[in-house]
Amino acid sequence: MTTLTQRTSGLVQRRTEAIRSAAAEKEKESGGEEDEARRGEEEDEDKGDSKETRLTLMEEVLLLGLKDREVICKSDAPTGDVLLDEALKHIKETQPPENVQSWIELLSGETWNPLKLHYQLRNVRERLAKNLVEKGVLTTEKQNFLLFDMTTHPLTNSTIKQRLVKKVQDSVLEKWVNDPHRMDKRVLALILLAHSSDVLENAFAPLQDEQYDLAMKRVHTLLELEPEKESAKPNVNELMWAVVAAFTK
């Protein structure tokens, strides 16, 4: 990031010096009050362009910086969830610390970096499915696909699914608070990640047209938030907003 900032500053400075030199040569050639006034206007425009360029680049650097920040384990106290405890153990023991984007790849079990295979969680999808089977949400079946038998996990408890769908719907309709920091963090994260996975519209499909439009409008309001700015506000979960930046920006 430091290299990017220095390079950008150098380009802006070089551009400023070039324009000033060109303006000085024009003044020598033409002279007079009219050219002096024109040079002043060019310098004002140059300052405005340089300021806008610096602001735009700084916003991009800050956004990149949020998801590129290192993740530090503050507490490895057991959470009661096997996968979460294993993830905390990996994060605590990894030196040097990895950034948010790297941990998303490692903890999803889908990294292809052979140097980091020992850090990633194993069989994440299968273990999550097994956990839901044990809770009675899914069941296990064998299905034949061409020459292979594959294990599938169909939904067996639609009540839990409908309860979750209703909770998501209510969060952007009847219980909409118009402030992401007053929303339940788990529901907010679920909405943003579901949208990133292209499954959120399925939860809104049963709604009436007016409700659907209103729900999607409010979801877009959440998607337009700047994670960097939101993470800088007091009493927020910075890591959650870093994950949001990685998935939505």
Going by pLDDT thresholds of 50, 70 and 90, the confidence category of residue 101 is confident
Between 72 and 220, residue with greater pLDDT: 220
What is the rounded distance in angstroms from the CA atom of residue 205 to the CA atom of residue 123?
32
DSSP secondary structure of 27-79: HHHH-HHHHHHHHHHHHHHHHHHHHHHHHHHHHHHHHHHHHHSBP--S-----
Is the per-residue pLDDT at 22 higher than 70? no
Is the per-residue pLDDT at 16 higher than 50? no
Look at residue 202 and give its three-state secondary structure: helix
Is the per-residue pLDDT at 52 higher than 60? no
Q: Contact, 119 vs 106, CB < 8 A?
A: yes
The pLDDT assigned to 3 comes to 36
The residue ranges of every structural domain in the chain are 70-108, 129-156, 158-248
Is the per-residue pLDDT at 114 higher than 90? no
Highest mean pLDDT among 125-139, 207-221, 226-240: 207-221
The pLDDT assigned to 12 comes to 39
Token couple for 156: 């067996």
Question: Region 164-191: what's the mean pLDDT?
Answer: 94
What is the rounded distance in angstroms from the CA atom of residue 197 to the CA atom of residue 69?
23
The pLDDT assigned to 6 comes to 37
Picking from 249, 128, 233, the residue whose alpha carbon sits closest to that of residue 195 is: 249
